Structure formats: structure tokens, C-alpha cells
């Protein structure tokens, strides 16, 4: 889960993964990445890459990533920003003749890279994911107002004001349709039992880590 | 109902393509009585609609003609066209089969002179050209048709056109009063050889078949290349009749795809390799063929043919399953979009014509066969049933002619064993 381990932990996790799997990156992906066991089913037809609306903007399309995994290009895969470009449109999944859950694998790889501290540092989707996760896990409800402000101002005050002005139509529309409330800035709404919710998230993470062999 | 013909020692062969013809001949030449039942108006099946055969690029006439001559010479084979099996009762060694026979409206007096076709002006889509061309409503299916006897299409029966056809026949061969008949016969064993049909290309939505005139299937391309086909053998594209010199072949159109057909249709790689040579034959060095493929499956001795085509400078290979086909609205040129997996480059390639190497599916799904047969996950007949209904040719799998014939011979041997046992039991 993004952003909840210190840098030291991450480096440590990565070292241990390297020691455990040595040159078998495919096995590492199979065991630790969501739906990773599907990777070897890819027959390199390329239809997913050709169906992706983001195609021209990625360096590594899904079949390329899958082949890189099989070729053991661990560092190149985990530091790639391609997985973070996925918009979850599911075009690729619909077209894949082998029914690979490509979208899930892409997100799984991104999450795993983030856990090991290898994900690219300046990547807007990754930044958003981290901000969203922190925002959401604080109260158990997404707080659009705070989320928006943090996103706009993440590059400093001046940039934030500029961004806010350029996005004001969208913001006003959200206020008008009650998709966002200005009062949320004061803390906002949350689930009834915030403590219980946070304990639940902690437990889920613990179980997930154990299953993936990521616990201490 | 017409009374029974045949006995428990008869072998019934269903489907008169190359596989069914082979099965009938093998059994008949071993001295068995055979009834060969064909749904259409002629024997020959799909092979009769091919321009040339891989790997030797000979014309289908040779193979078919020899078989037809053997059938004509055999006293043990009874051929029934326009006939379908509707029911099979009984068990191994003793079946009673019900047939439904559609009227041909032409009797055995026909000399195939063609006067009826000349007299008639009504036209219908030509099914042997996959609807690309039209034909008269009084017709001989194709030049190799057997029996060589005309057919009056039901659409003109009871109309002035039908009467014109009848009046034109000097041999009294046209009988517009014929009706559908039902017939029962006995058989000890059954060879089921109903073959294949092309997968419905319109279901592969991103390829635009049915929306873009210059996207056609491989079976249609065979007809374009055939001198007896709708263009007289010229490779002209449907939208404007322009010569199609720059042709794209899209492999695995429907095959090897969990969303369409699960299986590899096995012959379409070879069919496209063969068809690149039609383009070369038509336009020599001006020909441009591009084969978009996942991997080329030219099995065993076909590898030599593949190697030869690889060396042909007019043929290019792109390792990619095409993602999408678009059309240039002004020229109606198809434009292929995708990513090649040798370098992962995106392409947008313009061609004159796209040929979809369409997958094969069973023409009668095993589940719809009125007998005890085992189906595989694609609906082909699998071995293993207790019955004496034996699959042959493309009813059992996607096969080329050579393998279809081998499979037919194997099925016939099993059928012969069953009727021999039935004969011994009766003796
Ligand atoms: C584009 C293309 C090109 C090809 N080129 C080649 C080539 O160059 N060389 C090669 O070796 N192979 C080629 N093939 C494969 C070849 O067409 C098959 O191997 C061959 O047709 C198999 O013959 P069959 O008798 O099993 O089936 P079919 O040819 O399909 O014959 C089946 C027969 O059964 C009849 N029938 C169907 N349903 C019923 C029913 N319910 N009752 C009674 N009769 C019925 C049909 O009317 C038909 O006459 C090609 C295939 C394609 C798609
Ligand atoms: S569509 Fe499926 S099989 Fe084809 S390259 Fe993509 S993941 Fe692999
Ligand atoms: S034979 Fe070739 S084109 Fe046909 S399904 Fe198999 S791989 Fe695809």
C-alpha cells in the first residue's frame, strides 16, 4: 500500500526479495504481484498494446513488460513508469485472446514497486495514489476538498494558485452539484468508527503481507 | 413416407465434401454398400470453392475429378443430394435413420444443357461465392458439380419465372410439383463428415467486416482468385473494382481467442502463405503482401513452403495481432492499427484490401448431431463415444485436405469393422 513504510524498510524489503528470488524474477512476480501467475500465459500477440488509448505515451506496453519479467529484467520493470500510466479502461482485458487480467497485473506491479521503494519518484499517478490513500484512510471517507487542495498545492503555493484558477470551472461545478463541500476543509465527514476502520485496514495489510511473503 | 432402403450392413456417410467422398469410396471399394447423403445440391464441399491447393498449388479439380470418376464407376454408392439427417434411432450395428430431402425441381432427364438458366432472368446470391456474386435462379452449382444436374431455386417456383424455365427445357426434366420428402433407411454404422464453416467475421467487431467493403475473408479471397469466381479471377477490391495490389493478411481472425474460437484453425497460416502467391501471380513484382501474425504455424513438410514465401521480396511479415482496422472515408482504403512485438512499435498501415484469415468452426456442432457423439470444447466430434457414429475430416478438427482424407479413411475402417461384425452376427 502506497506511502506507509519508511525508506529503510523499503530498501530492506528489496534486499530480502533479491536474496530470496535471485535470478527468478518471474517467480517473484507470480508469488508477490496480484494475478502475477498469469504473466507466463501471455503469447505476445500485441493486441492489448494496440488497443490501449495511452499506447503512444508509454515506454513499456503490457506485452513488453511481461516479456521483460520473463527475461528477468527486474530493475527495469520495477522502476518503469508504464504501469502508472494505466487508466483502468480495461480495453486490453476485453481484447486479450488469453483473457489475462492485464489491468490488475499492471496495478499489482505498480503497488509492488512502490512497496520496495523502486517506483519512479516523479510520477503524477503515483503522487495522486499516495495523496488519495492518505486522505481516504484518515477518516474512512474520501475528502474531495482536501484531496483537491493537496493535489494542486503539491508543487508549492504559486503553482497551486495557478492550478486552482485553471481548474475553477470544474471545482465550482462540483460544489454546485454537491459533489464537494467547502466545509470538508474543517476535517470533513468520516465513518462512524474511525479507529475500528483503521484497525481493519492494518489487519488487511498484515494478512496481505503475510500472503505475499512481505512481512518482517 | 418412402419405404426403407439399405440394410444393417450399409454404411451411411453424411456430408459429401472431400472427407465424405473419401469415406464413401473407401467403404464401397471394400465391397460395402454405401449411402452418401449431402445437404447441398452437389458433392465437393468447400474444397471445390478453392482456387488452388497448398502446398503444391495445384487446382482442386485434379483431386476432386478423380474421386468423382471413382464414385460414378462404383455400383455400391448411392448419392443423395439436398438431403439431411433429421433423426437417428437404434444403436451400434442397427440404426434407423430419417432423412429429409428437399425438392430440386429437376429430375434425372436433365442433360445440363443450361437452357433453363438462359430463359430465367431472376437472380439470387451465389452461395458458392460466399454471396460475393449473383447467379441465375436456375443454376448448376459450379463447373465441377456432381450430379451434373440443374437446380431450380424455390424462390421462383410458382412464379412466371419458374414457368419460363420449365418451358425452355426440351427434355421434360423440370418438375415444379416436386415436394419435400421424408425417407427412412437402415445402416450399421455412420461416418459423420459434415465439415466446417468460416467463423462469422462480423463478430470480430474491431476489424470492421461488414462495415468496410475492402475487408473480406480468406474464403472470399479464394473466390476472387478463381477464374470461375465473381471477378473472373481478377483480384479486384469490392468498393471500387480497383486492382488490389497491396494486400494485408490478418492471421488468427477469430482463432486462438477465448472471446471467439479457442482452437488454432491450423490451415489459415498456410492458406495466407498460399494466397500471397495469388497476389504475386497477378501482379508480379508490383505485388505487395503483408502478413500480420502471432506465429506462423506451417507444420511439418509445409515448413518448406513457408521458407519459400519468406524469400519472396513481395511478401512482408509483421509479428502482431492487428488491434483495429479503420477506413479512410475518401478512398475506402483500410488502415491497420497495432503494435508489432519485435520492437513494440506502433503502426498505422494503409492497404488496398484486407483478407481476414478466418477461423474454421464445425458446420454442425457436435451437440446438434442427432446421435451419441462426444464433443470437444470447440464443438468438433471427439473420439470416445460408444456409438458407431464416427467423425471424419473437418467435422472432427480443423484439418487440411490431406489430413481430412486420412481421418476419413480411419473412420471408414472403424465403420467397416462394425458392419462386418453385424454381418457375422446375422450369418
Ligand atoms: C481459406 C481456406 C483455404 C484453404 N486452402 C486449402 C489448401 O490450399 N489445401 C488444403 O489442403 N486445405 C485447404 N483448406 C482446408 C480445406 O478446405 C478442408 O481441409 C476441407 O474442406 C475439408 O473437407 P471436409 O470434407 O472435411 O469438409 P467440407 O469441405 O466442409 O465438406 C463438408 C460437406 O458436408 C456437407 N454438409 C454440411 N452439413 C451437412 C448436413 N447437416 N447434412 C449433410 N451434409 C452436410 C457440406 O455441404 C459439404 O459438402 C483451406 C481452408 C480455408 C478456410
Ligand atoms: S493481449 Fe494478452 S496475450 Fe496478447 S500480448 Fe497482451 S497480454 Fe499477451
Ligand atoms: S493456423 Fe495460423 S492463422 Fe490459423 S489460427 Fe493457427 S496460428 Fe492462427
B110-129 pLDDT, tens per residue? 999 999 999 999 999 999 99
Cell 446438434 maps to which residue?
B368
Q: Which residue's CA lies nearest to atom 3 of ligand 2? A: A42
Say yes or no: B15 and B82 in one domain: yes
Residue A188 has pLDDT above 80, yes or no: no
Pairing outcome for strands B353-358 and B181-187: unpaired
B347 near B339, Cβ under 8 Å? yes
Total of domains in chain A: 2
pLDDT at B139 over 60: yes
How far is B198 from chain A, CA to nearest CA, in Å? 19
**A184 versus A101: which is more confidently predicted?**
A101
Structure confidence by residue, pLDDT tens digits, B264-302: 999 999 999 999 999 999 999 999 999 999 999 998 889
Please count the residue pairs, one from chain A and one from chain B, whose beta carbons lie less than 8 angstroms apart: 66
For residue B296, give the 3-state DSSP assignment. Answer: coil
Percent of chain A with pLDDT over 70: 91
- Please tell me which of the candidates B295, B321, B344 has its beta carbon nearest to residue A47: B321
Is A185's pLDDT higher than 80?
no
C-alpha closest to that of B161 among B217, B118, B215, B193: B118
Q: Does B138 lie in the same domain as B45?
A: no
Is a pLDDT exceeding 90 seen at residue A135?
no
Residue B71 and residue B9 share a domain: yes
Q: Residue A146 has which C-alpha cell?
A: 482536501
Q: Which residue has the higher pLDDT, B327 or B422?
A: B327
Quick check: is A192 in a domain?
A: yes
Nearest chain A residue (CA) to B264 = A97
> Could you tell me if B80 and B37 are in contact, meaning their C-beta atoms sit under 8 angstroms apart?
yes
Indicate if ligand 2 lies below 6 Å from the C-beta of A39.
Answer: no
Give the three cell numbers for residue B351.
Answer: 492497404
Instruction: Using most ligand atoms within 8 A of CB, pick from B252, B267, B360 the residue to mutate for ligand 3.
Output: B252
Burial A2-28 (b: 16+ CB within 10 A, else e): beebeeeebeebbeebeeebeeebbeb
Range of the domain at B391: 2-102+180-195+363-426
Q: Is A59 on the interface with B (CB under 8 A)?
A: no
Looking at the DSSP assignment, which residues form a beta bridge with residue B187?
Answer: B95
Instruction: Verify that A77 and A100 share a domain, yes or no.
Output: yes
Residue B401 Cβ contacting ligand 1 at under 6 Å = yes
Quote the ligand 3 centre to B6 CA distance (angstroms): 42
For A154, the domain range is 124-202
User: Chain A: nearest CA to B205, how far in angstroms?
Assistant: 11
Residues B225-230 have a mean pLDDT of 95
Banded model confidence at residue A7, pLDDT cuts 50, 70, 90: low
Residues B88, B227 within the same domain: no
B204 plus B348 within the same structural domain: yes
Find chain B residues with C-beta within 8 A of A64's C-beta. Answer: 344
Question: How far is the CA of A41 from the CAs of A35, A44, A97, A100, B407, in angstroms?
Answer: 11, 9, 10, 7, 32
What cell was used for A183?
466545509
**Omega of the bond leading into B116 within 30 degrees of 0 (cis):** no
Rounded Cα gap, residues A206 and A190, in angstroms: 23
Residues from chain A contacting residue B259 (CB–CB below 8 Å): 94-95, 97, 99
Q: What is the pLDDT of residue A143?
A: 76
* C-beta separation of A66 from A80 below 8 A: no
Helix (H/G/I), strand (E/B), else coil: A158? helix
Which residue in B341, B413, B403 sits closest to B30, CA to CA?
B413
B63 lines ligand 1 (CB under 6 A): no
Segment B14-59, tens digit of pLDDT: 999 999 999 999 999 999 999 999 999 999 999 999 999 999 999 9
**pLDDT value of position B299:** 85
- Strand partners for B136: B123
| Nearest alpha carbon to residue A188 among A139, A123, A125 | A139
Show which of A62, A89, A120 is a domain's final residue.
A120
User: What pLDDT score was predicted for residue B369?
Assistant: 94
Q: Which residues from chain B sit within 8 angstroms of residue A99, using beta carbons?
A: 258-259
Tens of pLDDT, residues A56-89: 778 899 999 999 999 999 999 999 999 999 989 9
Last residue of a domain, one of A94, A120, A146: A120
Which residue(s) pair with B339 in the sheet?
B346
Does residue A2 lie within any of the structural domains?
A: no
Rounded mean pLDDT, A88-105: 96
Mean pLDDT of chain A: 86
Start-to-end C-alpha separation, chain A: 15
Is residue B138 a part of any domain in this protein? Answer: yes
Looking at B329, B360, B391, which one is the last position of a domain?
B360
Residues A192 and A150 in one domain: yes
pLDDT in tens, B173-198: 999 999 999 999 999 999 999 999 99
Domains identified in chain B, total number? 3
Instruction: Provide, rounded to the nearest whole percent, the portion of chain B with pLDDT above 90.
Output: 92
DSSP string, B206-253: GG-BTTBTTEEEHHHHHHHHSTTSTTTT--B-TTT--B--EEEEEEEE
Q: What is the pLDDT of residues B365-406, one digit of tens each?
A: 999 999 989 999 999 999 888 899 999 999 999 999 999 999
Amino acid at each position: 500500500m502506497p506511502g506507509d513504510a519508511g525508506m529503510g524498510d523499503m530498501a530492506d524489503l528489496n534486499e530480502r526479495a533479491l536474496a530470496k528470488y535471485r535470478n527468478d524474477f518471474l517467480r517473484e512476480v507470480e508469488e508477490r504481484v496480484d494475478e502475477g501467475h498469469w504473466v507466463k500465459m501471455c503469447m505476445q500477440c500485441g493486441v492489448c498494446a494496440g488497443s490501449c488509448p495511452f499506447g503512444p505515451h508509454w515506454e513499456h506496453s503490457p506485452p513488453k513488460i511481461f516479456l521483460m519479467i520473463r527475461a528477468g529484467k527486474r530493475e527495469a520493470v520495477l522502476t518503469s513508469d508504464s504501469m502508472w500510466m494505466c487508466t483502468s479502461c480495461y480495453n486490453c482485458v476485453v481484447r486479450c485472446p488469453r483473457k489475462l487480467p492485464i489491468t490488475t497485473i499492471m496495478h499489482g506491479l505498480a503497488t509492488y514497486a512502490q512497496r520496495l521503494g523502486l517506483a519512479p519518484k516523479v510520477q503524477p499517478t503515483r503522487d495522486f495514489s499516495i495523496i488519495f490513500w492518505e486522505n481516504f484512510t484518515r477518516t474512512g471517507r474520501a475528502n474531495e476538498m482536501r484531496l483537491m487542495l493537496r493535489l494542486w498545492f503539491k508543487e508549492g503555493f504559486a503553482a497551486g494558485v495557478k492550478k486552482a484558477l485553471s481548474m475553477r470551472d470544474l471545482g465550482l461545478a462540483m460544489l454546485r452539484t454537491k459533489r464537494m463541500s467547502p466545509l470538508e476543509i474543517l476535517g470533513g465527514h468520516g465513518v462512524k468508527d474511525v479507529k475500528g476502520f483503521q484497525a481493519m485496514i492494518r489487519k488487511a495489510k498484515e494478512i496481505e503481507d503475510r500472503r505475499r511473503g512481505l512481512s518482517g | 413416407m418412402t419405404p426403407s432402403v439399405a440394410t444393417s450392413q450399409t454404411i451411411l456417410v453424411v456430408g459429401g465434401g472431400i472427407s465424405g467422398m473419401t469415406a464413401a469410396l473407401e467403404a464401397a471399394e471394400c465391397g460395402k454398400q454405401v449411402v452418401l447423403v449431402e445437404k447441398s445440391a452437389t458433392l465437393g464441399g468447400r474444397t471445390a470453392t478453392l482456387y488452388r491447393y497448398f502446398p503444391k498449388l495445384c487446382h482442386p479439380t485434379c483431386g476432386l475429378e478423380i474421386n468423382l470418376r471413382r464414385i460414378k464407376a462404383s455400383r455400391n454408392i448411392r448419392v443423395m443430394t439436398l438431403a439431411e439427417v433429421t433423426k437417428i434411432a437404434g444403436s451400434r450395428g442397427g440404426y434407423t435413420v430419417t432423412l429429409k430431402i428437399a425438392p430440386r425441381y429437376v429430375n434425372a432427364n436433365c442433360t445440363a444443357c443450361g437452357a433453363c438458366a438462359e430463359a430465367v432472368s431472376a437472380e439470387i446470391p451465389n452461395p458458392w461465392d460466399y454471396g460475393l456474386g449473383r447467379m441465375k435462379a436456375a443454376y448448376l452449382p459450379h463447373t465441377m458439380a456432381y450430379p451434373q444436374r440443374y437446380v431450380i431455386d424455390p424462390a421462383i417456383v410458382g412464379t412466371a419465372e419458374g414457368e419460363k424455365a420449365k418451358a425452355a427445357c426440351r427434355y421434360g426434366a423440370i418438375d415444379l410439383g416436386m415436394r419435400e420428402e421424408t425417407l427412412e433407411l437402415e445402416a450399421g454404422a455412420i461416418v459423420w463428415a459434415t465439415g466446417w464453416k468460416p467463423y462469422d467475421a462480423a463478430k470480430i467487431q474491431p476489424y470492421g467486416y461488414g462495415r468496410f467493403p475492402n475487408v473480406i475473408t480468406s474464403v472470399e479471397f479464394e473466390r476472387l482468385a478463381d477464374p470461375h469466381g465473381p471477378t473472373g479471377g481478377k483480384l479486384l477490391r469490392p468498393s471500387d473494382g480497383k486492382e488490389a495490389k497491396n494486400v494485408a493478411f490478418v492471421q488468427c481472425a477469430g482463432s486462438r481467442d477465448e472471446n471467439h474460437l479457442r482452437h488454432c484453425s491450423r490451415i489459415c497460416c498456410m492458406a495466407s502463405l498460399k494466397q500471397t502467391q495469388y497476389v504475386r501471380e497477378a501482379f508480379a513484382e508490383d505485388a505487395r503482401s503483408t502478413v500480420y501474425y502471432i506465429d506462423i504455424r506451417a507444420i511439418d513438410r509445409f515448413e518448406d513452403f513457408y521458407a519459400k514465401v519468406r524469400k519472396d521480396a513481395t511478401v512482408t511479415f509483421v509479428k502482431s495481432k492487428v488491434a483495429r482496422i479503420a477506413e479512410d472515408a475518401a478512398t475506402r482504403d483500410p488502415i491497420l492499427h497495432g503494435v508489432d512485438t519485435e520492437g513494440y512499435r506502433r503502426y498505422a498501415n494503409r492497404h488496398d484490401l484486407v483478407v481476414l484469415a478466418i477461423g474454421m468452426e464445425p458446420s454442425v456442432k457436435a451437440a446438434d448431431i442427432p446421435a451419441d457423439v462426444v464433443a470437444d470444447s470447440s464443438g468438433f466430434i471427439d473420439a470416445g463415444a460408444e456409438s458407431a457414429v464416427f467423425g471424419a475430416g473437418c467435422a472432427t478438427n480443423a484439418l487440411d485436405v490431406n489430413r481430412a482424407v486420412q481421418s476419413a479413411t480411419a473412420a471408414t475402417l472403424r465403420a467397416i469393422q462394425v458392419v462386418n461384425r453385424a454381418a457375422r452376427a446375422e450369418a
